[in-house]
Amino acid sequence: MPGAVWRASPNCDERFGPADLALIVIHNISLPPDTYDAHPDAPDGSYIDDLFLNRLDPAAHPYFATIAGLQVSAHLCIFRDGRIHQYVPFDRRAWHAGASTWQDRSRCNDFSIGIELEGSDTQPFTDAQYAALIDTIRWLHTHYPQLPRAAITGHSDIAPGRKTDPGPHFDWPRLRAALGIAAP
């Protein structure tokens, strides 16, 4: 995607139907939890990069030991200042949703694009993140016209009871208004 910093994650594979993009899933992530853009050894990177690139040091923070060995990714992460890192090409399957169902279809990774926002369930997202997210979704709709305009959901909606992100501070009305999408 134009403007995104490319960080190739090994945590992806082929889609069964690359043209079958039907959903955008919004997530939140912060590493360590509720800590943003912290990485003393990588001023142009983040612990999020390290997680998605399978290089997160479990000794760097006590929380990291609890997630050591996870093999996960997303297509994109939008950081607090609006920077975007892309980890997986959109025509490949990122490993972001896990066990999930949307409109009676299971395995959402097969047909979705995963967008992480650097954040948590405890704090609002930034104006820079909303601007970057809105521009990203507009770009995706232009380049993938088969992607339904209103098919944007949260991780919590496709994995209820298991996931809570993007969390209570995500401003769905703001996103929908900016994209001209009616409320569900």
Catalytic residues: 116
Token pair in block for residue 125: 């997202």
**114: three-class secondary structure by DSSP:** strand
Q: How is 44-79 classified by DSSP, letter by letter?
A: T--HHHHHHTT---TTSSHHHHHSTT-----SEEE-
Q: What are phi and psi of 59, to 5 degrees?
A: -90, -5
CA torsion angle 98 28 163 183 (round to 10): -100
Nearest to 149 by CA among 21, 47, 1: 21
Please list, in sequence order, all residues whose beta carbon lies within 8 angstroms of the beta carbon of residue 157, skipping any fewer than 6 positions away.
102
3-state secondary structure of 110: helix
Residue type, 39: H
